[in-house]
Structure 1
Amino acid sequence: MTTLGGNEALVRALLAVSRCMVALADRNLAAMDSDVTLAQYRTLVELATGGPQRSADLARELDVAPSTLTRMCDRLERKHLVRRFHRVDDRRSTWLALTPAGRDLVGVVMRERLRELSAIVHDAKVDASQESVDLLDRIVEASGELPDAQWWQRWETSADPLDSVTLP
């Protein structure tokens, strides 16, 4: 068994919380009848977080093979959630961006997750101290993710306008 260091109880609690978060995201996607898998949703969230990206960079960020990303984005493009394009200054690379529909889907799922998390915290009768909130923020940042307020700011501008690029 792997040693977890001096924070074993915290690490195990976070592991349980991560299972809850994955289940919550999966439930929200299923309830929306969006026909988007969890892996596809993760791709949409990464595009919302990082903005338009080269497909090779996005595959690396998601830790998937470029061919896997291509097939996933084929499906997302057919659903009008992402689009491929070439930048005027980079005609060789294929870039990916959220469409307004893709951005909206991410926003709807995130808002529903926020609503459900609020209900869970209420039902658990949790009254979080600033110290515990700061701890969670540090964990989020250490994982490479954005704090919530920053994430929503990026989400607001994540659908790349068509007139700023040259389509293939």
Structure 2
Amino acid sequence: MMQDYQAQLESILDSLGRIRQAMNRQSRSLDASIHLTAPQLVCMRQLQVAGPMTLGALARRVHTSPASLTGLVDRLERKDMVQRRRDEVDRRKVLVEMTKSGADVLAMAPWTVQDRLGLSLAQMPPEKRDELERAVGQLAEMMESPPPDTGEERHKSVS
């Protein structure tokens, strides 16, 4: 029974490692081909799909904090991929929008891990997608949650 658990744990960790490696390869490829990082491309794709939005809205769409996104948008702005502008209705709001240069670069962007995943998911039966979504969601929750209190000390503090 314990061997089954250990083999499953190793298989899951191996799969997570393969996902990380695929994303790292993609990031290096993007940087070499269009001089963007994967997170920059993801942000630009969100702007392409949803149009101009506030930094906070963009941060929610790409699952990061506005503080983390500020530097990324600054770098995209320096590359003339995006621009910030005041909302015409509510002048207190600043919107991030893609520039013509950004749209041109995005049109040349290679397929990403997310693109391939999306195509593969679209071909799966809905019930299999639901099952996968639940399993991946559970995995993310397990990895984000604090370790359970087993009564055993895992790491001893160093004085």
Percent sequence identity over matched residues?
28
Q: Distance in 1 between matches of 2:48 and 2:16?
A: 25
- Report if aligned partners of 2:81, 2:103 keep a CA contact under 8 Å in 1: yes
- Report if aligned partners of 1:25, 1:109 keep a CA contact under 8 Å in 2: no
State the superposition RMSD in angstroms: 3.9
SS of the equivalent of 1:110 reads coil
- Report if aligned partners of 2:81, 2:98 keep a CA contact under 8 Å in 1: yes
Determine the structure 2 residue equivalent to 1:90.
90
Letter in 1 for 2:85: F
Letter in 1 for 2:123: V
TM-score, normalising length from structure 1? 0.53
Once the two structures are TM-superposed, the CA of residue 58 in structure 1 deviates from its matched residue by 0.8
Determine the structure 2 residue equivalent to 1:29.
30
Q: Distance in 2 between matches of 1:24 and 1:106?
A: 18
- Report if aligned partners of 1:28, 1:109 keep a CA contact under 8 Å in 2: no
- Report if aligned partners of 1:55, 1:93 keep a CA contact under 8 Å in 2: no
Once the two structures are TM-superposed, the CA of residue 42 in structure 1 deviates from its matched residue by 1.6
Q: Does the alignment pair 1:56 with 2:83? A: no
Shift of the 104–83 alpha-carbon distance from structure 1 to 2, 3 Å rule, reads: same
Q: Deviations over 1:72-118 (max 9, x none)?
A: 1111101000000112112111101111111222221136x59xx7x
Unaligned runs of 5+ in 2: 1-11, 117-121, 135-159
Letter in 1 for 2:46: E
Determine the structure 1 residue equivalent to 2:68.
68
SS of the equivalent of 1:89 reads coil
Structure ID, larger Rg = 2
Q: Distance in 2 between matches of 1:73 and 1:43?
A: 9
Determine the structure 1 residue equivalent to 2:40.
40
Q: Distance in 2 between matches of 1:66 and 1:109?
A: 25
SS of the equivalent of 1:64 reads coil
From 123, 131, 153, give the equivalent of 1:133: 123
Once the two structures are TM-superposed, the CA of residue 61 in structure 1 deviates from its matched residue by 1.8
TM-score, normalising length from structure 2? 0.56
Q: Distance in 2 between matches of 1:68 and 1:133?
A: 34
Aligned residues between the structures? 121
Q: Does the alignment pair 1:101 with 2:76? A: no
SS of the equivalent of 1:63 reads coil
Q: Counterparts of 1:127-166 in structure 2 under 5 Å? A: 133-135=123-125
SS of the equivalent of 2:107 reads helix
- Report if aligned partners of 1:55, 1:69 keep a CA contact under 8 Å in 2: yes
Unaligned runs of 5+ in 1: 1-10, 118-131, 144-168
